[in-house]
């Protein structure tokens, strides 16, 4: 299994430890994790399935129109297909499991991703099988990234920040917010992204919103420009946020941003192996309180990988202990809806001795002036 991004060795060890005969990956994240392939049309009701047995040959089941691409992209050579909008793909899945002698075994399935009707159909089709939720197995494995995953996530982080820098350098008074967002989407593709994943670029009073679509607003001197954006890189997410001002920053804007960056810097400095993530969250909350910036949020960052938000969550209730090769998006922000908002978000990797900040191409210590 050399060269596979996901920890397939760890997955098979977990299959044995859980006394499962196989796992069936059906979510987009875990299908990609097990196959190294993205099926962009995959969604609930349009299944793409990876079957990873305890022993023997893994296999894939996808819609017929995806078979050629998946066969070309995946390390798994056994690829089956079904007719989309035709007979139920679960009939084809049952046949594959029966051929492999797995239809009467303990089968790990991703509870919560199947539609209720599909899960009911699956249990009826496999009356002698014991279906066990395997989602926790994947969640635990994906917290620690493989070296291949780290390299891919780092590439995505750097590419996304470069796209932000290229876009911010072009913003001028009179630019339409929607047009700037379009340039940013293009710059992400130019820097190697497969597709934009989310694009929240706002200007002026719109920066007070967390997640809003670009509008027809025309930029003016003195406006804040805020972006929280991510893209797909072979199925893996990036997530970077930056704030700037068009023209010269006011004393108030500069002061608020520098206080926010102080909290951000302290939060980053608290990240190292062996530290409980809840302590990182405590550093952030105490920092906000000290600099007198409101903090109504339940987390100060999150793991990132095949999901934009995955474990660990840098919050008060997460019991995770930081460890090398965890990749995090650490975010420090404040918003006043309809008025103004500031957001700094860096992608970092926990190392043996501390952390490596991947997103360092833009000025973040001071409010960037465009």
Q: What is the CATH number of the domain that holds 98?
A: 3.40.350.10
**Is the domain of 114 the same as that of 196?**
no
Question: Among 88, 122, 143, where does a domain finish?
Answer: 143
Q: How crowded is residue 319: how many other Cβ atoms within 10 Å of its Cβ?
A: 8
Where in the sequence is the domain holding 34, given as residue range(s)?
8-143
The total domain count for the chain is 2
**Is the domain of 71 the same as that of 201?**
no
**Is the domain of 112 the same as that of 258?**
no
**Is the domain of 328 the same as that of 224?**
yes
Q: What is the pLDDT of residues 53-100, one digit of tens each?
A: 998 899 999 999 999 999 999 999 999 999 988 888 999 999 999 999
Quick one: average pLDDT of 39-64? 91
**Is the domain of 319 the same as that of 301?**
yes
**Is the domain of 125 the same as that of 175?**
no
Confidence at residue 246, expressed as pLDDT on a 0 to 100 scale: 98
Q: Residue 1's pLDDT band (boundaries 50, 70, 90)?
A: very low
**Is the domain of 89 the same as that of 177?**
no
**Is the domain of 121 the same as that of 212?**
no
CA distance 296 to 312: 20
Confidence at residue 323, expressed as pLDDT on a 0 to 100 scale: 98
* Mean per-residue pLDDT over the chain, rounded: 95
Q: Residue 36's pLDDT band (boundaries 50, 70, 90)?
A: very high
Q: What is the CATH number of the domain that holds 305?
A: 3.90.230.10
**Is the domain of 221 the same as that of 304?**
yes
85 or 133, which is more confident: 133
Within a domain: residue 128? Answer: yes
**Is the domain of 272 the same as that of 336?**
yes
Does residue 255 carry a pLDDT above 50?
yes
Report phi then psi at 306, rounded to 5: -75, -15
Q: What is the pLDDT of residues 147-177, one digit of tens each?
A: 999 999 999 999 999 999 999 999 999 999 9
Within a domain: residue 157? Answer: yes
CA distance 200 to 61: 35
Within a domain: residue 3? Answer: no
């349009």: which residue's tokens? 46
Within a domain: residue 351? Answer: yes
**Is the domain of 21 the same as that of 169?**
no
Confidence at residue 2, expressed as pLDDT on a 0 to 100 scale: 40
Question: Among 111, 126, 143, where does a domain finish?
Answer: 143
Q: What is the 3-state secondary structure (H, E, C) of 86-131?
A: CCCHHHHHHHHHHHCCCCCCEEEECCCCCCHHHHHHHHHHCCCCEE
**Is the domain of 234 the same as that of 210?**
yes
């Amino acid at each position: 299994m050399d060269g596979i991004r996901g920890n397939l060795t760890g997955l098979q060890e977990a299959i044995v430890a859980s006394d499962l005969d196989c796992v069936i990956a059906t979510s987009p994240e875990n299908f990609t994790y097990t196959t190294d392939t993205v099926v962009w049309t995959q969604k609930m009701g349009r299944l793409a399935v990876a079957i990873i047995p305890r022993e023997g040959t893994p296999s894939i089941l996808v819609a017929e129109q995806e078979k050629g691409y998946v066969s070309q992209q995946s390390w798994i050579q056994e690829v089956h297909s079904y007719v989309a909008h035709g007979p139920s793909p679960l009939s084809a899945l049952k046949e594959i499991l029966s051929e492999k002698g797995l239809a009467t075994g303990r089968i790990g399935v991703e509870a919560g991703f199947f539609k209720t009707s599909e899960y009911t159909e699956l249990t009826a089709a496999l009356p002698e099988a014991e279906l066990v939720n395997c989602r926790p197995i994947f969640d635990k494995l994906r917290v620690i990234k493989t070296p291949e995953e780290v390299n891919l996530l780092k590439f995505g982080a750097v590419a996304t920040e470069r796209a932000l820098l290229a876009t911010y350098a072009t913003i001028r008074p009179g630019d339409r917010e929607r047009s700037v967002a379009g340039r940013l989407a293009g710059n992400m593709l130019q820097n190697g992204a497969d597709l934009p994943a989310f694009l929240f670029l706002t200007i002026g009073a719109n920066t007070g919103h967390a997640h809003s679509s670009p509008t027809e607003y025309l930029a003016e001197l003195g406006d804040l420009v805020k972006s929280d954006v991510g893209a797909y890189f072979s199925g893996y997410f990036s997530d970077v946020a930056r704030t700037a001002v068009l023209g010269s920053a006011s004393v108030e804007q500069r002061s608020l941003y520098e206080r926010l960056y102080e909290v951000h810097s302290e939060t980053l400095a608290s990240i190292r192996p062996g530290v409980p993530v809840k302590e990182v969250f405590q550093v952030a909350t105490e920092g906000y309180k000290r600099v007198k910036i409101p903090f109504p949020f339940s987390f100060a960052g999150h793991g990132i990988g095949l999901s934009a938000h995955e474990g660990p969550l840098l919050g008060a209730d997460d019991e995770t202990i930081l460890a090398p090769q965890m990749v995090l998006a650490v975010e420090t922000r404040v918003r006043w809806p309809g008025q103004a908002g500031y957001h700094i978000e860096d992608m970092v990797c926990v190392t043996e001795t501390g952390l490596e900040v991947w997103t360092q191409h833009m000025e973040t210590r001071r409010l960037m002036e465009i």
